[in-house]
Structure 1
Amino acid sequence: MSECRWQKSSYSVEGSNCLYVAAGERDTIMLRESEQPEVVLSTTRARLRTFIRAAKAGQFDHVTEC
């Protein structure tokens, strides 16, 4: 895999807990969090769009931390 060009989310503020995104090969989007940059999640643009819409609609509001 070629070197990724990570971009900090415009919704992240200065300091810790920042979300970074990068375009992968083909239609892949990669995500990582500033506190654990070695952990990278990947998905497609369509799946990420669906996830974001569901989160905005409150479909994950009941999810709690273990």
Structure 2
Amino acid sequence: MKAKDTRLLSQDQLNDELLKLKKEQFNLRFQRATGQLEKTHRINQVRKDIALIKTILNEKSAKAEV
């Protein structure tokens, strides 16, 4: 996920994407715990995408307050 593309999304879309990523992160943790996880790099990608979306949401809320 690119920051440039993510900034174009609305807050509702960002919240939906954040929820989707958190569910995926939850499933990935279960797969890792049970030894079924094949794409181990996906855990780090999801974590970074969650951080990116949270950062952009904070920026948008700060911009709205000003």
Larger helix proportion of the pair: 2
Tell me which of the two structures has the higher relative contact order, counting C-alpha pairs closer than 8 angstroms and 6 or more residues apart. 2
Fold match, TM over 0.5?
Answer: no
User: How high is the TM-score relative to the length of structure 1?
Assistant: 0.29
- Rg comparison, structure with higher value: 2
TM-score, normalized by length of structure 2? 0.29
